[in-house]
Amino acid sequence: MANLAEVFGADIENVRRGIGSDPRIGYQFIYPGCGYGGSCFPKDVQALARSASAAGYTARVLEAVEAVNYSQKEKLLEYIYRHFSGDLKGKTVALWGLSFKPNTDDMREASSRVLMEKLWAAGASVKAYDPEAMEETQRIFGDQPGLTLCGTKEQALKGADVLAICTEWKEFRSPDFEAIAANLKEPVVFDGRNLYEPEMLERHGMIYYAIGRGRNQFHGV
C-alpha cells in the first residue's frame, strides 16, 4: 500500500488511519516501512512456503510476501541512489538503527544489514549508531573498512553526507532537527520507519524521504 501511495501521490499515513479505523483491523500492525526482520516471522514464512512446495502446492501469497519484504529492504537504497543521481562513491551515510526492531540487539534479517552491504558495494561508507546492537554489529561485520560505529546518534551525524533511519527507537522520535541539519553535509533524511511529519522537516529546511509519503518527495520526478 505504501508503494501504491507513492505511485498515486497519496500519503500512506492517511491511508493507514483509514484502514486502521476498521475495528476488525486496528492500527497495531499496519505501519509501513523498510521491511520486517528478526528470527521468527521471516523464518516462519519461509518454512511454511517450503513445506507447501514440498507437498506439491505453490503458496503464492507466502512467496509474494517474502519477495515484497526483501524488496522493501532496498527502498532506502533506492531513494539514496535517486537523490545522488546513481553515484554513491565516496559518500558517507549516517545510519540510526541497526537492530530489526526496537528494544533488542537482534540483527537477524535486519533491514539495516541489507542497506549497509549495498552501500558498501556502491562505494559508500556508513557511520552507524544503535542503542543496543553495537556489539552485535561488531560481531557480524568485524573490521569492515566502510563501517564506523559511533557512541551516540549525534556522533554518527558528524561528517556524514545524509542520514538514514532503519529502526524506530524511541530516542530517534524527537531529535534536534537543527543539529541534524547543521552536522550533515546535506540536510537530507531517509526515514525507513516514517517517524516524522514531512511538514516539520520542511520547516527546518530539510529534504525528507519516507515510505509512501507521496511522489512529491522525489525531487525532479
Question: Residue written as cell 517450503?
Answer: 50
Distances (CA, A) of 107 to 32, 183, 201: 19, 27, 29
Residues 6+ apart with CB under 8 A from 16: 1, 27, 30, 31, 32
Which residue spans within the chain are E strands per DSSP? 92-96, 125-129, 147-149, 162-165, 188-191, 207-210
Q: Determine which one of 34, 40, 150, 166 is catalytic.
A: 40
- First CA to last CA distance, the chain: 20
Binning the chain into helix, strand and coil, the percentages to the nearest 5 are 45, 10, 45
Question: How many CB atoms lie under 10 A from the CB of residue 142?
Answer: 8
List the strands of the sheet with 92-96, edge to edge. Answer: 147-149, 125-129, 92-96, 162-165, 188-191, 207-210
Exposed, middle or buried by CB within 10 Å (0-12, 13-18, 19+), for 48? middle
Among this protein's residues, is 40 annotated catalytic? yes
Catalytic positions, please?
40
